[in-house]
Amino acid sequence: MEFTAQQIAMFLRGEVIGDPNVKVSDLAKIEEGQKGRLSFLSNPKYTDYLYTTESSVVLIDQSIELDPERSYTATLVKVADARAAMGMLLNMVQDALNPRKKGIEQPSFIAEGVQVPADAYVGAFAYIAKGVEIGEGTQIYPQVYLGDNVKVGKNCLIYAGVKIYHDCVIGDNCILHAGCVIGADGFGFAPVDGKLQKISQIGNVVLEGDNEIGANTTIDRATMGHTVIGRGTKMDNMVQIGHNVVTGQNNIFCAQVGVAGTTKIGDWNIFAGQVGVAGQLSIGSQNTFGAQSGIPGNIKDGQILMGTPVIPAKDWARQAVYLKRLPDMQNDIKELKKSINK
């Protein structure tokens, strides 16, 4: 794999500044640049590296201002959004490095009557139960478990060891990372005669499509009805989604977030790492929840929140400052009391 700056610019619809014929065959971070490599510069904070990098080509955000006094050796490819452009390039490289797999490896277990499309892949030790449907172009890696009647859409990537319980539905273009568990029982018990009696969980999980689900993430099936992950919503590793949660589109759940049962979530929210959301809530859209925050009540739209319980992030930052002043405040009060009682 070797490309010229010119080829890359054409692919990304960018503008070449410098030698269009210089070639690159690998990628590197700009601060670790080497001859023959491609780097990118999207964050102005790192602009200094441009003048020292040894990378041959640098993909650069057109908004970045360069210092006309300083020189650099790389050929630049200017694009509107260098980060997104880099993503497209990475996708191209990824596809070249990991070509789509096809065919059925042995030994695998495919129940009678299940149709595997000709361009799909089923790895060794995968278990495909009765009634399962698999879409075109879908790749099912080794040691995956698809329970009875699971439906997997087109062009999905189900990595090694994913477990999907019976009756769950995975939409098109989903990526499920190793070890994630879709459709285990929701957590419901009722105390009866001095014991905790299990409440059976007869619903399912529906991923609407274009979802990425991180390694070892767990999404529980609904008690009745559906747990729904809206189209385009992405989850990092070890996220926990309780039974009957319904999310809208394009939410981002960072690692180790937990959402308790029956909570409804709008679109385009960002939940930073280790956030906890209580059950039976209604969360609006376009909110950002800071890392480790805890959400005990309903939330409207468009807020930046932080803390347990969450408050506006600005107030939370001020609180941290005031907390440090508490000893002084108490001292002041003591002094005031003294002056008055004199």
The residue within the footprint of a second copy, chosen from 11, 46, 51, 127 (CB under 8 A), is 127
Q: Does residue 3 interact with a second copy by CB under 8 A?
A: no
The structure tokens 């299940």 sit at: 114
Closest to a second copy by CB, 25 or 308: 308
User: Of residues 83-102, which lie at the interface with a second copy (CB under 8 A)?
Assistant: 83-84, 86-88, 90-91, 93-94, 97-98
User: Of residues 156-175, which lie at the interface with a second copy (CB under 8 A)?
Assistant: 159-161, 163, 165-166, 175
List Cα–Cα distances, 267 to 35, 205, 214, in angstroms: 43, 18, 19
Half-sphere exposure of 129 (CA within 13 A, CB side): 14
Cβ atoms of 72 and 56 within 8 Å: the answer is: no
Using CA atoms, how far apart are residues 174 and 241, in angstroms rounded to an integer?
A: 17
Rounded to whole angstroms, the maximal C-alpha distance in the chain is: 94
The residue within the footprint of a second copy, chosen from 273, 285, 288, 313 (CB under 8 A), is 273
User: What's the closest the beta carbon of residue 268 comes to a second copy, in angstroms?
Assistant: 9
The structure tokens 């969360």 sit at: 283
Closest to a second copy by CB, 64 or 255: 255
User: What's the closest the beta carbon of residue 296 comes to a second copy, in angstroms?
Assistant: 8
Handedness of CA 7, 9, 10, 11 (dihedral sign): positive
User: Which contiguous run of DSSP H or E holds residue 201?
Assistant: none
Closest to a second copy by CB, 21 or 320: 320
Using CA atoms, how far apart are residues 12 and 82, in angstroms rounded to an integer?
A: 10
The residue within the footprint of a second copy, chosen from 64, 116, 199, 313 (CB under 8 A), is 199
Annotated catalytic residue 177: no
Closest to a second copy by CB, 44 or 67: 44
The residue within the footprint of a second copy, chosen from 103, 148, 301, 314 (CB under 8 A), is 148
Closest to a second copy by CB, 83 or 300: 83
Q: Does residue 35 interact with a second copy by CB under 8 A?
A: no
289-328 footprint of a second copy as x/- string (CB under 8 A): --xx-x-x-----------xx-x---x--xxx-xxxxxx-
List Cα–Cα distances, 218 to 111, 227, 253, in angstroms: 25, 12, 12
Cβ atoms of 201 and 215 within 8 Å: the answer is: no
Q: Does residue 201 interact with a second copy by CB under 8 A?
A: yes
Q: Does residue 209 interact with a second copy by CB under 8 A?
A: no
User: What's the closest the beta carbon of residue 68 comes to a second copy, in angstroms?
Assistant: 29
Q: Would you call 142 helix, strand, or coil by DSSP?
A: coil
Using CA atoms, how far apart are residues 127 and 72, in angstroms rounded to an integer?
A: 55
User: What's the closest the beta carbon of residue 203 comes to a second copy, in angstroms?
Assistant: 9
Q: Does residue 54 interact with a second copy by CB under 8 A?
A: no
Using CA atoms, how far apart are residues 248 and 168, in angstroms rounded to an integer?
A: 18
323: which 2 tokens? 């907390």
Closest to a second copy by CB, 117 or 296: 296
The residue within the footprint of a second copy, chosen from 18, 225, 264, 286 (CB under 8 A), is 225
234-253 footprint of a second copy as x/- string (CB under 8 A): x-xxx-x-x-------x-x-
Burial grade of 292 (CB within 10 A; 0-12, 13-18, 19 or more): middle
Closest to a second copy by CB, 118 or 190: 190
Using CA atoms, how far apart are residues 145 and 123, in angstroms rounded to an integer?
A: 11
Kindly list the catalytic residues.
243
